[in-house]
Structures are given as C-alpha cells and as structure tokens.
Structure 1
Amino acid sequence: MVIKRLGWMVLAAALLTAACGDDGPARDPEGNITDTGAASVFSFRTGDCFDDPASDAAEVEELSAVPCSQPHDNEIYHTFDMPDGEFPGTEAIFDVAYEECLGDVFTGYVGITFEESELDVFPVTPTETSWGAGDRTVYCAVFNLDLSKITGSVRGTAR
C-alpha cells in the first residue's frame, strides 16, 4: 500500500501557544465535531475527521475540522505520546509512529488488519521545533487509498 507522506504531515505547529486557549472545533455533548471550520492541530482527538490543508507547508497550526458525517479526507483513529528526552530525529519518530499506527490499534478501530484494508494511514508527528516546545503527541490518521473523500466514520467498518 502507498503511504501518504505529505510534507505538511510532519507537522505539529512550531508555536506551543497554538495549543493554548479554546481553538478547538465546535462539539456536541458526546464530543463529536458539529461544524466545519479551522481548528488548532492540538485540539483534535481520536474519532475526529478533517480535510487536508490547502498548503504544502512543512508545519501547520490549523486544520479544517469536519463532522465525520460529511465528506472528509482523514480520520484520527489513535493518538499516543512519544517519550520525553532529546528530539530523536524525524526518521526515528516516523519509525515509532508507523509501528504503533499500523498495529493492533488500526485493527481495533477499523475492524480488520491494515494489510487487509482498503484504507491507508499516516502519522501526524511532532517536528523538531514543536518537540522543543514540549510537543510529544503523534496522531494516527486514516484515509482512502484512492484519495477519495470518506463519508461517515471508518470505525468498525472493516474496510
């Protein structure tokens, strides 16, 4: 399977201030995104859907949050934190991220193994700049292999 490795996905904004304040998307009482709109990259959670950014910037501070019931490009299916310490390097972070994102968490969320799936994944990872500001979170996101829009959540779909 092809892995979506767009430059903008090696993200997680350079400014920790982007993580402060209420820059999250509008949500219903269950926590589901209710309105399409720009939201801080730090405000996304497992189960959230979003569109690809308009630019190919190496670092992105905001993404377009989309209710999963509407057509969207990506869905976050898992998040985890890298261990503290010195920045291990982009390649090392990607190695850890892909190992985590392609394992049991994919199967548990989608309902079949990555190898059986018609979906593909990419990790949204800390950059060296954001790491220096304390960012350790990796977001595992899923998208259609043919890059078509997804409508609805992929959770439990066995796609």
Structure 2
Amino acid sequence: MTVARPPARRPFRLLTMVPAVLALGTLFVAPATPAVHKGDDFMTPGTTGVLNLEAGECFTDPEYSPAAGEEIVLYTTCDQHADNQSYGFVHADDGRYDRVALAAFGWSSCERGFVHYWPGAAGAELDYYPILPTAETWADGDRDIMCVVYDPRGELAGSMLPRA
C-alpha cells in the first residue's frame, strides 16, 4: 500500500523576508490625510446633540450611533477629541424661510466673528462654517445660526478661542 506523503515543508525564514518587506514598505507610504472642508450642509440643528451646545463648547463630528439609531454629535472638552468648537450665534430676522439667503447671511456673519477671533487664519490652520436652521426648525421658531471653527487637518488642539 502506498501512502501519499505531504510535500516537504521549508522552514519559515523570517530573516530572508525582512529585506523584501522593508523594500515594499518604502514603496507604499501612506498618503497624508486630506484636508476636510465643512460647508453649511455639514450638519443641521436636526442632528441630535447640536441644540444642546452653547458658545465656546467643543463637539465631535456627526457619527452614527447604533444605540440612538441616528447620527449624533457629542459634547466633549476641547482637549479631548474635539472636531469643532462653537464660537458664537447670530440671530436671523423673522420672515419667510429662504435657504439661499439664510446661508449667505450665515457665512458673512460667521466670517466677521472668525476674522475677529483669528485674524489671518483663513485658509491656513483653521476654517469655519455656519449651522443653519432647517425649514422644519425655522417653522418651530428657530432663528439662530451657530458659528463653528474647526481644523481642516483633524482634531482641535484645545480650545481655539483666544484667552481674555
């Protein structure tokens, strides 16, 4: 009776593989994280957690929460994984809801605060965006626009507001 033998195994030679792995590693360098741009549609007052935020507070980007079954933002201290910081609110005049006009008002109003707090920072280290009322929150009386500062390269390195 003939018994088939498994093919002979060669011992694993880690040292012979190291130069090959190192060579491959130098070929495949991870690209730098691309800058993120957040616009006036990045989040809305309908995103759970946004309406609980006050001026000066830091918070996370919206993330889906399985427990809540929806996207939420979380308050966080500014030195602990903060993606955004509210730096003020502006109040829009009553009237008919006009998203385009409201966005223009939000961007120009938030820009004034941004330039005041961080002169020369536009396009460099920091950027800003407004969180606008939606048609639904407008119908409920929401006229507030939140102005938010963020670092397009990643998390904030503490509170971005200048110390008084």
Q: 2:46 aligns with which of 4, 13, 31?
A: 13
Deviations 1:39-95 (A, max 9, x none): 73222111100001114xxxx88521101121210001111111111112x221110
Question: Which secondary structure state, in structure 2, belongs to the residue aligned with residue 121 of structure 1?
Answer: strand
- Equivalent residue number for residue 77 of structure 1: 87
- Equivalent residue number for residue 7 of structure 2: none
- Equivalent residue number for residue 4 of structure 1: 38
- 4+ runs deviating over 4 angstroms: none
CA distance 1:61–1:79, shift in 2 (3 Å): farther
Distance 2:148 2:56 in 1: 9
CA distance 1:96–1:61, shift in 2 (3 Å): farther
Check if 1:101 corresponds to 2:110. Answer: yes
Aligned-pair RMSD on alpha carbons? 2.6
Unaligned runs of 5+ in 2: 1-34, 65-69
Deviations 1:115-149 (A, max 9, x none): 36421111111001110011111001011122x11
Distance 2:76 2:85 in 1: 9
Distance 1:61 1:130 in 2: 17
Question: Which secondary structure state, in structure 2, belongs to the residue aligned with residue 97 of structure 1?
Answer: helix
- Equivalent residue number for residue 144 of structure 2: 137
Q: Which has the higher contact order (CA 8 A, sep 6+)?
A: 1
Larger radius of gyration: 2
TM-score calculated relative to the size of structure 1? 0.67
Distance 1:78 1:117 in 2: 21
- Equivalent residue number for residue 18 of structure 2: none
Distance 1:61 1:86 in 2: 28
Question: Which secondary structure state, in structure 2, belongs to the residue aligned with residue 91 of structure 1?
Answer: helix
Q: What letter corresponds to residue 117 of structure 2 in structure 1?
A: Y
Check if 1:63 corresponds to 2:70. Answer: no
Question: Which secondary structure state, in structure 1, belongs to the residue aligned with residue 46 of structure 2?
Answer: coil
> Share of identical aligned residues, percent?
28
Q: What letter corresponds to residue 116 of structure 2 in structure 1?
A: G
Distance 1:108 1:79 in 2: 14
TM-score calculated relative to the size of structure 2? 0.66
Check if 1:45 corresponds to 2:54. Answer: yes
Q: 2:127 aligns with which of 120, 132, 143?
A: 120
- Equivalent residue number for residue 3 of structure 2: none
Distance 1:96 1:69 in 2: 31
Q: 1:156 aligns with which of 142, 155, 162?
A: 162
